[in-house]
Amino acid sequence: MGFKIAVLKETASGERRVSAVPETVKKLSALGATVAVEQGAGAGATVSDEAYREAGAEVGDRAAVLKDADLVFAVQGPDAADLAGAKDGVMLAAALDPFGNRDRIDGYASAGIDALAMEFMPRITRAQSMDILSSQSNLNGYKAVLDAAHHYGRAFPMMMTAAGTVSAARVFVMGVGVAGLQAIATAKRLGAQASATDVRSATKEQIKSLGAKPIFVESVEGIEGEGSGGYATEMSEEYKKAQAELVSDHIAKQDIVITTALIPGRAAPRLINDAQIASMRAGSVIVDLAAEQGGNVEGAVAGEAVERHGVTILGAKDMASTMAADTSALFARNLYNFVNAFWADDTDAPVFPDDDELVKGVRVTKDGKVVSERLLAD
């Protein structure tokens, strides 16, 4: 039968995405793989079982899909028990949340599953097309602005009318990674005045290139550059204090604030406290994209809109699922690109060398053991 890839229906509450779409089923089949999709897997992303069949996939129940599968695709990692019936040594590629779900990772090891945590993909040029965090964050940044606009009781662009002028909304983005950059771009497209800050000085030019104003401390030596993987180097205490004062002054003048700061394997850093929220005018909106990881904003609750001091705080939860058709397509392409990069024509199967930088980065379990250096070092 050749190399078989199983595509599972997601079981996590609220999860509407799917890990393969007809486009990637066709591409995987063209490589030589057999693709089997669990019934109803694409329903949340508006992809029918028939669309998968037309693309060349087999469609069946979970037991049939898992039988003889060599590689399992999922969006959120299932429990090891949900893979019962799969052969020993089966590979699993998904977002596994290894730090937040360590017991699940241990379960994969005990079950003999070769688990690949796709969010651990190294941030290097070669891996950009396989980076699920970037592809999903891009749309999260876009949706954060739309959600803010929905809850903000005023217009975003400046409007000049016979009855007078409506001022443009002021949007402040904290954290200029993939999500932050897209939030800036979306806010600008909607006509807002945008500004942004980040602990990495290298992001100033990126902010300016989008037509936004960078908010950085200029008078104190702070960060000279980026650390490994594009993350920040440590700030001096003097810089931290000056930055906090500058941001506090700026937040008080903003209508919309969007926070995006995440630290892999750690709780999200606190960026906005209650006093800063109280300084904003009533009717303002804050969107915390890190709410599921503890939150950047004091009082934020994942999946809820909370009001404090007249300010609405939106705690993002599984935001990518609210745009499931597009986020699924991007996620599916990430997985296809990963498989395609390691596909060996002579064996009609992917070969994942233990010493390859990408494989070492994403592999968390193999041969009954947890092997991820990042997890073992934690």
Catalytic residues: 123, 128, 131, 134, 231
- Of 121, 124, 62, the closest CA to residue 95 belongs to 121
Q: Tell me the torsion sign for CA atoms 326, 332, 335, 337.
A: negative
Read off φ and ψ for residue 166, nearest 5 degrees. -100, 125
Per the rule left: phi > 0, alpha: psi between -120 and 50, beta: everything else, 40 is left
Per the rule left: phi > 0, alpha: psi between -120 and 50, beta: everything else, 286 is beta
* Residue 29: both structure tokens together: 């089949």
Q: What angle do the packed helices 324-341 and 132-151 form, to 10 degrees?
A: 170
Per the rule left: phi > 0, alpha: psi between -120 and 50, beta: everything else, 69 is beta
Cβ atoms within 10 Å of 201's Cβ, excluding its own: 17
Rounded CA separation 338/8 (Å): 18
The answer to whether residues 25 and 49 touch, using CB atoms and an 8 Å cutoff, is no
